[in-house]
Amino acid sequence: MVLGLRSAIGSDVGRRRTSNQDSGATTGRLLIVADGMGGHAHGEIASAMTVSAFTELDGRLPQDLTDLDLAAEMTDALVDATERLSRRAGEDPDTRGMGTTVVSLLLTGDQLAMAHIGDSRIYRLRDGGLTQLTHDHTMVQQLVDEGQITAEEAAHHPRRSVLMRALSTDHAPEPDLERIDILEGDRFLLCSDGVTAVLDDDALLRELAAEAAPDAIVQRLIDLANEGGGPDNITAIVADVVELADESEQTQDLRVAGAAAEISTSN
C-alpha cells in the first residue's frame, strides 16, 4: 500500500489584527504552519522566510526518503531559516527581534517526520479520537507540567501566549523532532494559535470528524474562529491520509497561504 496526503490550507487575518503574520504551505508530502512574532518587528517576514526554507528543502529532497535522516534534514531547514532571519535583521534593523513558531510534517512511507517549535499545534484524528501530537513551548504549559496550575486555568491565563521556545535570530533552534506512524483514514490538523485560542478540543473533534473534504473543514475552522472573536491570525491545514495507486499520485502542487503568499522573502 502506498500512502499519500490530500490536504487543504487557509489563512485569515482574523478580526482584531491589521496584518497577517502567519504563513503556511503544503505540497504532496510537506505540511507547514508558521506563526510570526514581533509585531512591528515584522513577524510576517520571519514566518514567510521559514516556510520558504522548508519548501526549498522539499524541492531538494529526492522522491524516495526512506534512507534519509529526516530529523537532520528538518533541523537543517530550521537552521537555514534562522540564518536567513539573522541576515535580514543585519540588513534591516527594524526586523531585529522577529521570530516565528513552526509546526511541520514530512511524509515518508507509512510515517510522518515532525518538527515543532512554539505553540502552533498538530492534532491527529483517528478512529473517532483526537490526539494533540505537539506540546506547547509556553510559560503556561510549563506551569501545567509542574503542577502549579490546571489545564483549565491555563486556557484563560493572561500570559498563555508567552513562549519559552521559538525560532528567532537570538539562538539556535531547539525543535521537538518525532516520527509519527500513520494509517489510511487518519486526518491531521496543523494550526496557529488563532484557531486554538477560540476552539477547544471538543470543537476541533466535532469539526474534524465531519464527513467533509479538507478544504471545507479548513474554511469551517476559520469561520468559527472569527465567529468566536478572531483575536489573532488564523491558519489551518487539514490533511487526510489516503491510499494511492502508486507513488506518482503523491504529487500535489505547492500551495502557500498567509504572509508567505503576500510578501517577498528574498534575503
From first CA to last CA, the distance across the chain in angstroms is 42
Which residues lie across from 237 on neighbouring strands? 9, 190
Strands in 234-244's sheet, in edge-to-edge order, are 2-12, 234-244, 187-191, 121-126, 129-132
Domain boundaries, the chain: 2-262
Tens place of pLDDT for every residue, the chain, 267 residues?
799 999 999 999 999 999 999 999 999 999 999 999 976 568 999 999 999 999 999 999 998 898 899 999 999 999 999 999 999 999 998 888 899 999 999 999 999 999 999 999 999 999 999 999 999 998 888 888 888 888 777 777 777 778 899 999 888 999 999 999 999 999 999 999 999 999 999 999 999 999 999 999 999 999 999 999 999 999 999 999 999 977 666 678 999 999 999 986 655
Instruction: Give the chain's radius of gyration (CA, Å).
Output: 17
Q: How far apart are CA 25 and CA 257, in angstroms?
A: 6
CA 127 to chain centre: 23
* Three-point CA angle 32, 264, 197, nearest 5°: 40
For residue 80, give every residue at least 6 positions away whose Cβ sits within 8 Å of its Cβ, in sequence order, or none. Answer: 53, 56, 57
Single-letter amino acid code for the residue at 22: D
Determine how many CB atoms are found less than 10 A away from the CB of residue 93: 9
CA dihedral (131, 53, 177, 252) positive or negative: positive
Tell me if the domain spanning 2-262 has CATH number 1.10.3720.10. Answer: no
pLDDT for 247 equals 66
pLDDT for 40 equals 59
